[in-house]
Structure 1
Amino acid sequence: MQFQNKTVIITGGGTGIGRKAAELFYNEGANVIINGRREEVLKTTATEIDPTEQKVSFVAGDISNPETSKDLVNKAVELFGGVDILVNNTGKFVPTPFTEYTPEDVQSYLDVIVKGTLFTSQAVIPEMKKRGQGAIINTGSMWALQPVEATPSAAYSAAMAGRHAMTKNMAVELAADHIRVNAVAPAVVETPIYNNFLSDEEVPEVLDSFNEFHPLKRNGQPEDVANAILFLASESASWITGTVMPVDGGATARLR
């Protein structure tokens, strides 16, 4: 139970990687608060992970709004006395040709990924300082490092590159407060995000086509990334900060 009595906030925690991370943290003894826009999804996830409703709670709201981050921290303090770990896991991914982005598209990526990371991190830092330490893990992306012709995603990639850059800057600024900041950079992970732009019939076929994209010959699963998140949050990673860890089945090993 390596996270016994630790309190974790996970944004984008209702489905996919965030949900699996919430489940694994809970299994290791942590108190968990998840965030997303859809209250019913969050409620279902929280209850399925913790039927007692004692150690997993949720706050629904738009994470680009600083008030949502404040609500998350206030709930963590009210229920569990503080915050030890933050996982910034919000994301939006809709492949779009470069010339077809609208101002609204670009703003939405900045809201979900950049603002969602900045405001939530700002909100938890004072509580982590009270603890004398903390860990922030950001879910980045291989697309911030390597374009993929089959999935044009310049705005998404730019926002995720911003999350990577924020990771390194925060790590340097917060090191004196014993707050470590790292990121994971997944490649293709089989989560519900693909249902945002593919039909239910298309999802399995398209995802199967990406298995060979990874040298390990398979797409990632939420647990692959969640395990890396837990490692970076743990004492086993106590001398690691400012890194962006590829969790990508070897995909970026091909970078020249």
Structure 2
Amino acid sequence: MSTSQRVVVVTGASQGIGAAIVQAFRKLDHVVVATSRLIEPSDDANVLTVAGDIGNPATAQRVITEGLARFGRIDTLVNNAGIYVGKPFTEHTLDDYAAVVNANMTGFFYITQLAIVEMEKQSSGHVVSVTASIADTAYSGVYSVLAALTKGGVNAATKSLAIEYARKGIRVNAVAPGIIKSPMHPPEAHNALRALNPLKRLGEVSDIAEAILYLDAAPFITGEILHVDGGQSAGR
């Protein structure tokens, strides 16, 4: 590794936004520790893959431990893992609740703790989480309670962590996407989803990856929730 290379951990890295984030950092010649439940080994020597449920503390520990063993440090953590379950509030099951909390909040908690411990040792680092625009902008007919509860919680935690660790050289930010063209949304739903933002189009996974790269390279930005949502959070 050169001194200019950063070591980036990306959760939820096997497809969609996560895969685009990995690719974007590799284009900058940074090395990546990529994790998700079903991620396959990579033939790129500068991408270490770790398969597992990020809501399991043992998975988070393996990601950080194996990343340190391979690359020596952790510079950036991208908390991208997450799921969305859209149902009327009273129809959510205990399994729905447990699955969403596990992916969206519990995984964030475990791996962010471990990453910040390592960042403190070098007095530098950046945590950036992928949340959701719908977490703070509700729309009639769009079921968003569990997204608001979990991704909204991560938005709030982002600001708290940014203040707690600012003097230790660690920045904490979030990117809040709108509707992104990804495996989460089937093609037959795209036309209806375009109507949910003023630009009347779906975002691309590259829009989110580029926003993360921007925040990662912006040393005077911390505690920011950057909405990348076609104007959805501004109004309709």
- The question of 1:121 aligning with 2:112 is answered yes
Show the counterpart of 2:198: 215
Question: Are the aligned partners of 2:85 and 2:100 in contact in 1 as well (CA < 8 Å)?
Answer: no
Show the counterpart of 2:223: 242
Distance in 1 (CA, whole Å) between partners of 2:22 and 2:4 is: 14
Q: Would you identify which runs of 4 or more consecutive aligned residues in structure 1 move more than 3 Å?
A: none
Distance in 2 (CA, whole Å) between partners of 1:101 and 1:213 is: 23
Listed as ranges, the matches of 1:35-114 within 5 Å are 35-39=35-39, 42-43=40-41, 46-47=42-43, 53-114=44-105
- What are the ranges of 5 or more consecutive residues in structure 2 without an aligned counterpart? none
Q: Normalising to structure 1: TM-score of the pair?
A: 0.88
Show the counterpart of 1:199: none
Q: Secondary structure at the match of 2:120?
A: helix
Show the counterpart of 1:198: none
- What are the ranges of 5 or more consecutive residues in structure 1 without an aligned counterpart? 48-52, 195-202
Q: Report the residue type matching 1:14 in the other structure.
A: S
Q: Secondary structure at the match of 1:192?
A: coil
Aligned-pair CA distance for 1:168: 0.8
Listed as ranges, the matches of 1:163-178 within 5 Å are 163-178=154-169
Question: Are the aligned partners of 1:184 and 1:244 in contact in 2 as well (CA < 8 Å)?
Answer: yes
Q: Report the residue type matching 1:16 in the other structure.
A: G
1:72-106 C-alpha deviation (Å, 9 max, x unpaired): 11111111111000000011112111110112211
Aligned-pair CA distance for 1:164: 0.6
- Kindly tell me the number of residue pairs found equivalent between the two proteins: 234
Specify which structure has the higher proportion of helix.
1
Show the counterpart of 2:10: 10
Distance in 1 (CA, whole Å) between partners of 2:34 and 2:142 is: 29
Q: Secondary structure at the match of 1:124?
A: helix
Q: Normalising to structure 2: TM-score of the pair?
A: 0.95
The percent identity for this pair of structures is 34
